[in-house]
């Protein structure tokens, strides 16, 4: 790891230092590491003495950002948090001289792992076992962890979705019992976790837990809308882009067109995001008003990065995967680039490369566009054989 020299530098200066949190978890899962957090026994002033380029990111909370060898590292003094205010951020930070106390204050076992300069993992709460079994479990008493920071309940469902993990029973129960604490959390912080959940690979499963635990009832705009939102976990495929996620949510919640801008602003989205989402919703409105063909659904899916089946589902015209696959081959084409075959297909079917091939391909395209020939490999193959 290119970050190792940073740990070694702190160690050489006589301090303890460990990689902690998400980077250790993601390293062990083989995931991309985007932020490297380091916990150390050194106080912020001592960290600053060791490195030339530093930024006082959160000096009161013990965090200094260090720029070293082209990388950026958040170095935080071992700490516990005591006296939480409004179930939000720690009110008071107490620096401690050992790693154990620091790890104890963390949210989930898989986020409470540390790694030292020898690459050894410090695992006080069986985080490795939970990583292996793909489980999100609160460190220690889940109620306490959620009272310290209620956002952690959203983080639980976000990690489920992002990492494709299950939620451990006691942790889930504590969310069910304490979901109302989420009301205290700012929409900006909720938004960040909601979006990560919504575009993660396991978002439908996580969304189901978001609804089942009643967390959704404590989120503005979602309260009392469980019935409408319950379509989301039934989608065949989940959004991979923020714009698609918001469009799906707005369509499911039946937000009137005039209110989309306000809804997007209330959720602290940018104007560009709001505009993009409005365009997607307009497309859905258009389709809903004109009995769309399979082709329209397919193209709308392409435009919104959703699955054709989901586009149909969201429009209230459910179609099964089997039915769609049966009809897929026969989709009429409206655009020449949608032809199901190309020159290589003609060559494979006995047409010599050359001008004749080009002419034949053009005439196939014209016939398909005119609806005289089915856009399927079988029909086109038969047509080629008839021409030869």
Ligand X SMILES: Nc1ccn([C@@H]2O[C@H](COP(=O)(O)OP(=O)(O)OP(=O)(O)O)[C@@H](O)[C@H]2O)c(=O)n1
Name the binding residues for ATP: 22, 25, 106, 149, 152, 155, 158
Stretch that binds ligand X, among 146-154, 218-226, 328-336, 350-358 (CB under 6 A): 146-154
By CB under 6 A, residue 21 contacts ligand X: yes
Query: Min. distance of Cβ 156 from ligand X in angstroms?
Result: 10
Secondary structure class of 170 (helix, strand, coil): helix
> Which residues does the annotation place in the binding site for Mg(2+)?
35, 37
Q: How many CB atoms lie within 10 A of CB 29?
A: 15
Number of residues that bind ligand X (CB under 6 A): 12
Contacting ligand X within 31-50 (CB under 6 A) = 35, 37
Q: How far is the CB of 71 from ligand X (least distance, A)?
A: 15
Size of the chain in residues: 388
> What is the rounded CA–CA span in Å between residue 276 and residue 246?
10
CB of 155 to ligand X, least distance (A): 6
Look up residue 81 and give its two tokens: 């948090």
Q: Which of 111, 171, 216, 238 binds ligand X (CB under 6 A)?
A: 111
Please name the residue ranges forming H helices in the chain.
Answer: 4-12, 22-29, 44-50, 99-104, 127-133, 142-148, 151-163, 169-178, 187-198, 203-212, 226-229, 242-252, 260-266, 271-288, 294-304, 308-314, 321-328, 343-348, 355-370, 377-387
Q: In this structure, are residues 76 and 40 in contact, taking their beta carbons and an 8 Å threshold?
A: yes
Q: Which CB atom, from 50 or from 149, has the smaller least distance to ligand X? A: 149
In the complex with ligand X, the residue whose CB is nearer, 156 or 276, is 156
Q: Which of 50, 107, 278, 374 is close enough to bind ligand X by CB under 6 A?
A: 107
Binding segment toward ligand X, per CB under 6 A, in 145-153, 171-179, 325-333, 374-382: 145-153
What span, in angstroms and rounded, lies between the C-alpha atoms of 71 and 108? 27
Q: Does 130 bind ligand X (CB under 6 A)?
A: no
**Binding region for ligand X (CB under 6 A) out of 147-155, 206-214, 293-301, 347-355:** 147-155
CA distance 289 to 311: 14
* Residues 150-189 within binding reach of ligand X (CB under 6 A): 151-152, 155
Of 369, 347, 371, which is closest to residue 360 (Cα–Cα)? 347
199 within 8 A of 241, measured Cβ to Cβ: yes
Q: Which is nearer to ligand X, 107 or 296 (CB)?
A: 107
**Does residue 142 touch ligand X according to CB under 6 A?**
no
Minimum separation from the CB atom of position 105 to ligand X (A):
7
* Chain positions contacting ligand X, by CB under 6 A: 21-22, 35, 37, 106-107, 111-112, 149, 151-152, 155
């Amino acid at each position: 790891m290119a970050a190792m020299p940073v740990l070694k530098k702190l160690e050489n200066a006589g301090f303890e230092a460990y990689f902690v949190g998400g980077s250790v978890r993601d390293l062990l899962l083989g995931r991309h590491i985007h932020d490297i957090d380091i916990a150390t026994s050194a106080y912020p002033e001592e960290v600053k003495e060791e490195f030339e380029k530093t930024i006082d990111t959160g000096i009161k909370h013990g965090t200094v950002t260090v720029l070293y060898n082209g990388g950026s590292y958040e170095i935080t003094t071992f700490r516990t948090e005591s006296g939480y205010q409004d179930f939000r951020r720690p009110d008071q930070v107490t620096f401690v001289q050992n790693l154990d106390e620091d790890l104890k204050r963390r949210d989930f076992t898989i986020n409470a792992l540390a790694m030292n300069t020898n690459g050894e993992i410090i695992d006080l709460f069986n985080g490795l076992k939970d990583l292996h079994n793909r489980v999100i479990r609160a460190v220690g008493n889940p109620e306490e962890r959620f009272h310290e920071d209620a956002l952690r309940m959203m983080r639980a469902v976000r990690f489920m979705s992002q990492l494709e993990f299950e939620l451990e029973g006691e942790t889930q129960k504590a969310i069910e019992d304490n979901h109302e604490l989420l009301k205290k959390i700012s929409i900006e912080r909720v938004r960040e976790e909601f979006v990560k959940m919504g575009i993660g690979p396991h978002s439908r499963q996580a969304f189901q837990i978001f609804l089942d635990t009643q967390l959704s009832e404590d989120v503005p705009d979602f309260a009392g809308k469980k019935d409408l939102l319950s379509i989301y976990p039934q989608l065949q495929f989940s959004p991979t882009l923020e714009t698609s996620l918001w469009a799906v949510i707005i369509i499911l919640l039946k937000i009137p067109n005039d209110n989309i801008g306000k809804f997007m602003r209330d959720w602290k989205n940018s104007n560009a995001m709001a505009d993009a989402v409005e365009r997607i919703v307009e497309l859905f409105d258009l389709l809903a008003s004109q009995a769309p063909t399979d082709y329209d659904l397919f193209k709308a899916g392409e435009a919104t990065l959703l699955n054709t089946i989901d586009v149909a589902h969201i429009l209230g015209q459910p179609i099964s995967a089997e039915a769609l696959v049966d009809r897929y081959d026969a989709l009429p084409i409206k655009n020449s680039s949608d032809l199901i075959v190309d020159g290589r297909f003609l060559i494979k079917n006995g047409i010599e490369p050359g001008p004749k091939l080009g002419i034949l391909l053009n005439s196939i395209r014209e016939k398909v566009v005119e609806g005289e020939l089915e856009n399927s490999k079988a029909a086109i193959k038969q047509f080629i054989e008839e021409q030869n």
